[in-house]
Amino acid sequence: MTAWELEFILAQSREIKLEVLEDLIKKGSFGAYFEFVKVLLDAPITNGGIESEVIDALFKKHSNTGVDAAFARSEEKIMALEKK
């Protein structure tokens, strides 16, 4: 991730950052989720970072939906391969 991208992410409002995290969980995009979380946890709160407790609570609140979405996509791929 470039310095500009990091700066852009951290400049967003807290609400936008939490919405992005929530969307990534719901879509089951865990790679992108953890990359985004790393940016937010590495940055000081005064520079746009978010507390680990807030991120943890958000993950716990929505993790089942994301896991279900990721599992459903994997299941669809397996079924498509079996049809071939």
Model pLDDT for residues 41-78, shown as the tens digit of each residue: 999 999 999 999 999 898 888 776 655 666 566 666 77
CB-facing half-sphere around the CA of 40: CA atoms within 13 A: 23
For tokens 């520079």, the residue is 47
Domain residue limits at 30: 3-83
Do residues 24 and 32 touch, judged by C-beta distance below 8 A?
A: yes
pLDDT computed for residue 45 by the predictor? 95
Question: Which pLDDT does position 74 carry in this prediction?
Answer: 64
| Model pTM score | 0.72
The number of domains in the chain is: 1
